[in-house]
Amino acid sequence: MIDPCSLGPKPFLSVDEALARIKEAIQPVTGSEKVELESALGRVPAEDLVAPINIPFDRNSAMDGYALSSKDIDATQPFTLALAGTSWAGKPYAGKVEAGQCVRIYTGAVVPNETDSVVVQEQVSTDGENITFPANAAAYRNIREAGEDVKQGDLLCPSQRQLTPADIGLLAATGIVAVSVKRKLNIAFLSTGDELISLGQPPESGKIYDSNRYMLAGLLADPSYNTVDMGTIPDDRQLLEDTLKKGAENNDVLITTGGASVGDADYIHDILASCGEVKFWKIAIKPGKPLAFGKIGMCYFFGLPGNPISAMVTFKQFVAPALKRLSGAAATKPLRLLATCTTALKKAPGRQEFQRGILTQDADGNFFVASAGHQGSHILSSMSRANCYIILLTEQKGVASGEPVWVAPFSTFL
């Protein structure tokens, strides 16, 4: 059996072909702004960020113990050194360590210039100002060298890296106060359809609550994006065209859900063709076939399907990587794992499918995946239960229980 939606005189674009066209069409923004480091999380640096200082800045101790010179160590028998003073974290020992002396030192404290070894406190015995070390005391241990982590001038974060919490910590460790980042993307989104009602209204026969806008708001929750919710627009061609033109005026990207199919009230494709440019329409993917991509003026346009699961799948598969490219972030390949499928899955050849699954791992590290339930593109409950997609290739048929399948965990690919 062939997927009936894939039949026709002109074959639909494959997922890879659609992604390639998006990549070719979209160029990263060029504007930038300076932001304080505490506001830089998730932003994309406009330039390579390099270290202004060494990390660590000084040689410092990795342990609580005693700093001494290796010249005073006798590996054949215990030896005793006189305590010259203490080096505290944040308050270095200011004197000179003479031969036959040692310094009490704490983790993170500056190691005196005359010393090159730290013996941990558990290995020594003390008698007033006399510190006795064991015969097996090792030299050249427990010292962090200046620049051991990062040397002055080293690359900290490349210009295309979206800054993570670890990056922010690394930049702060070098004393960087502010960074130049790519400007935020301006993104508008809206839902279309006479059947949609807003939250707070009583349910009506023939009507459904507009869940897509709330879902899109969550999917667009990114520090690199400014978003505008343009609400719900009924199936009025002129009103929809006016709304799309207005949304395209001051935004980099405009996203709609609904109205992208071939029904009498599905106007997205025709409006885009008349007032903008259609890059492609319809993808060999399930769920989510009626996806429109193009431009209105200088604004990129994505017309997603109206069914919520179709909208979510196509957003993450096509829109999310497009937005990352537009923001200046480097492309990343989603994590995919090979798992044993524990339920039989139905599929007809013709479209690449992203079925909702529940991924588990046993004590030996083996991955298993089961269907999350009904796979209809309107079924949100199975998406809520799922924690991954089961990826079934275009020409693949159904999957029998026990067969291996590729899965994409939601933690990296939703």
Q: Is the pLDDT of residue 259 over 80?
A: no
The per-residue pLDDT for 414 is 36
CA angle 52, 54, 60 (to 5 degrees): 150
What's this model's pTM, rounded to 2 decimal places? 0.85
Whether the pLDDT of residue 94 is over 70: the answer is: yes
pLDDT at 338: 97
- Report pLDDT for 6: 52
Q: What local confidence, expressed as pLDDT, does residue 136 receive?
A: 86
* Mean per-residue pLDDT over the chain, rounded: 92
How confident is the model at residue 331, as a pLDDT? 86
Q: Is the pLDDT of residue 240 over 60?
A: yes
Residue type, 264: D
> Smallest Cα–Cα separation from 184: which of 328, 287, 11?
328
- Evaluate if residue 11 carries a pLDDT over 80: no
If you average pLDDT over residues 71-93, what whole number do you get? 94
Return the pLDDT at 265: 46
- b/e per residue 33-54 (b: at least 16 CB within 10 A): eebebeebebbbbbeebebebb
**What domains can you pick out in the chain, each with its CATH number?**
4-31+183-327 (3.40.980.10), 41-51+148-182 (3.90.105.10), 60-144 (2.170.190.11), 337-409 (2.40.340.10)
Q: Taking residues 400-409, report their average pLDDT.
A: 96
List pLDDT tens digits, range 297-347.
999 999 999 999 999 999 999 999 999 999 999 988 889 999 999 999 999
**Using CA atoms, how far apart are residues 20 and 34, in angstroms rounded to an integer?**
32
Examine the pLDDT at 262 and tell me if it is beyond 70: no
pLDDT tens, position by position, 171-208: 999 999 999 999 999 999 999 998 898 888 998 898 99
- Measured over the CA atoms of residue 2, residue 7, residue 10 and residue 13, the dihedral's sign is negative
Question: What would the 3-class secondary structure string for 92-140 be?
Answer: CCCCCCCCCEEEEECCCCECCCCCCEEEEHHHCEEECCEEEECCCCCCC
